[in-house]
Amino acid sequence: MSREGIRELQSKRLQETVRRVYENVPFYQKAFQEIGLEPGDIKSVDDLSKLPFTVKQDLRDNYPFDLFAVPKSELVRVHASSGTTGKPIVVGYTQNDINNWADLMARCFAMAGATKDDTVQIAYGYGLFTGGLGCHYGAERLGATVVPISGGNTKRQLMLMQDFGTTVLACTPSYALYLAEEAVHMGIDLPASQLRIGVFGAEPWSDNMRKELENKMGIDAYNIYGLSEVIGPGVSMECQCKNGMHINEDYFIAEVVDPETLEPLPYGQKGELVFTSLLKEAFPVIRYRTRDISVLIEEKCDCGRTFVRMERVAGRTDDMLIIRGVNVFPSQIESVLLAIGETEPHYQLVVDRKGAMDDLEIWVEVSDKMFSDEIRRLEELERKLRNEIQSVLGISAKIKLVEPRTIPRSEGKAKRIVDKREL
């Protein structure tokens, strides 16, 4: 489609979306009224910047279903992702939303060169996380053979990959690297296997990591981006030029704004990604601030597609970490530590990559009294913290209890995170 055609389509769908949220979601109606905006004021994408932003806190304030634009009986699915507090953020889908998402994800797999003749092993987590089921419906829509194995169980993944003749692997890049290394240990020659495509995303990774994965697995590895709030995986996807991810602009409008002033930035400038959904029924979003930093590329791609591209995500404007594909906020860890209460409120998160796996170590100061106590008591505390972190965050972490006054004190913002990963 020409750029002109895309703009026209977006303008039409934007008007419908604005009307839908105004009529069905009290939160948006109020936000529009506060700035004196009527749905009729939005006539085209040129009017986008008149609309208010939406942020993660708005999702939390309206937990669980108050931002939905349809009655609950119209929902056929919900997904959720971790937030900064104990409660997750919740998103919903109507049957049309699920069908659209499946089309979108089928398009993403096709962009990487997959067809109905492929066998797609989906090793993203199934469940409330959007990765597993999002890819699942898309690969089925493409007509491929889906192996819905979910994450983990690495030896079994590798065995089935060979036995079933898997040709496409969908998982996080860090899990792909783990699979590649484990294959070597098991004496499996992945480059000689039928595997040919990787669809990797849900966490930041680099071009060096791409090369590494491509060599170790004998595949072409493609970057896929998305977030639960906007739909899940499939917001953007690389084509075979591997030169930035094409944003599916018939479903979403992308903007990049200055994270401080919130002014929209021209193509080519780095800033925070903001998305507006164009077709979603259950959970439409207006100018959702992702906190992800990237750049939009307008130049036409060699593949011939006319959708703008976004560069790899270069970081975040908040302190969210992604560890083994799971979104983790330091504040969640802090609240676990404070709830247990036998440590000092001084802690640091040390993130590293050991081989293929992200490794999270939590350094916590214990009190003078505790420190002079029996080893058994310290071990007991360590175990308690480890279990509690596992149950709240859903990932394992090593706990390192340190002597009082050893974690550097800050004079401004505390440096809670030491990220040693070279992504």
Smallest separation, CB 30 to ligand DLL (Å): 26
| Residue 419 beta carbon to ligand DLL: minimum distance, rounded to whole angstroms | 14
Question: Which three-class secondary structure string do you get for 295-351?
Answer: CEECCCCCCCCCCCEECCCCEECCCCEEECCEEECHHHHHHHHHHHCCEEEEEEEEE
Between CA 294 and CA 291 the distance in angstroms is 10
Stretch that binds ligand DLL, among 129-137, 181-189, 347-355, 409-417 (CB under 6 A): 129-137
Which range touches ligand DLL (CB under 6 A), out of 10-18, 126-134, 141-149, 251-259?
A: 126-134
Q: Is 204 in the site for ligand DLL (CB under 6 A)?
A: yes
- Which residue among 226, 244, 271, 284 contacts ligand DLL (CB under 6 A)? 226
CB of 334 to ligand DLL, least distance (A): 20
| Residue 257 interacts with ligand DLL (CB under 6 A): yes or no | no
d(CA 281, CA 95): 9
At its nearest, how many Å lie between ligand DLL and the CB of residue 352?
19
Q: Which is nearer to ligand DLL, 158 or 322 (CB)?
A: 322
How many other C-beta atoms can be found within 10 angstroms of the C-beta atom of residue 319? 15
Q: Does 224 bind ligand DLL (CB under 6 A)?
A: yes
| Part of the chain binding ligand DLL (CB under 6 A), chosen from 3-11, 24-32, 158-166, 198-206 | 198-206
User: 180 and 173 in contact (C-beta within 8 Å)?
Assistant: no
Out of 37, 202, 336, 337, name the contact with ligand DLL by CB under 6 A: 202
Nearer to ligand DLL, 11 or 130 (CB): 130
Does 150 contact ligand DLL by CB under 6 A? no
CB-nearer residue toward ligand DLL: 81 or 157: 81
Task: For residue 369, count CB atoms less than 10 angstroms from its CB and return exposed for 0-12, middle for 13-18, buried for 19 or more.
Answer: exposed
* Phi, psi for residue 269 in degrees, rounded to 5: -105, 145
Binds ligand DLL (CB under 6 A): choice among 94, 150, 327, 343: 327
Q: Give the one residue of 292, 308, 310, 389 binding ligand DLL; rule: CB under 6 A.
A: 292
**Residue 172 near residue 201 (C-beta atoms within 8 A):** yes
Q: Determine which helix (DSSP H) or strand (DSSP E) holds 89, and give its type and residue range.
A: strand 89-93
Q: Does 272 bind ligand DLL (CB under 6 A)?
A: no
Stretch that binds ligand DLL, among 63-71, 220-228, 301-309, 341-349 (CB under 6 A): 220-228
Between the alpha carbon of residue 127 and those of residues 77, 227, 261, 315, the distances in Å are 11, 15, 37, 26
Whether the CB-CB separation of 192 and 228 falls below 8 Å is answered with no
**3-class SS at 369?**
helix
Kindly tell me which residue out of 54, 121, 130, 343 binds ligand DLL, with binding defined by CB under 6 A: 130
- Closer by beta carbon to ligand DLL, 322 or else 362: 322
Nearer to ligand DLL, 32 or 233 (CB): 233
Name which of residues 58 to 117 contact ligand DLL (CB under 6 A). 81
Enter the DSSP assignment of 144: P
Instruction: Determine if the peptide bond prior to 64 is cis (ω within 30°).
Output: yes
CB of 136 or CB of 346, closer to ligand DLL: 136
**Least gap, CB of 327 to ligand DLL (angstroms):** 5
Number of residues this chain uses to bind ligand DLL (CB under 6 A): 23
Near ligand DLL by CB under 6 A, which window of 95-103, 140-148, 201-209, 341-349? 201-209
State the pairing for strand pair 77-81/245-247. Answer: unpaired
DSSP state of 379: H
DSSP string, 91-139: EEE-HHHHHHHHHHHHHHHHHTT--TT-EEEE-SPPSSSHHHHHHHHHH
Residue found by looking up tokens 């259950």 in the block: 282
Q: Which residue has the tokens 């060979």?
A: 162
Choose the stretch contacting ligand DLL; rule: CB under 6 A; options: 48-56, 217-225, 262-270, 343-351. Answer: 217-225
Considering the rule CB under 6 A, would residue 227 count as an interface residue with ligand DLL? yes
**Binding footprint of ligand DLL on the chain (CB under 6 A):** 81, 124, 129-131, 201-204, 223-228, 232-233, 290, 292, 313, 316, 322, 327
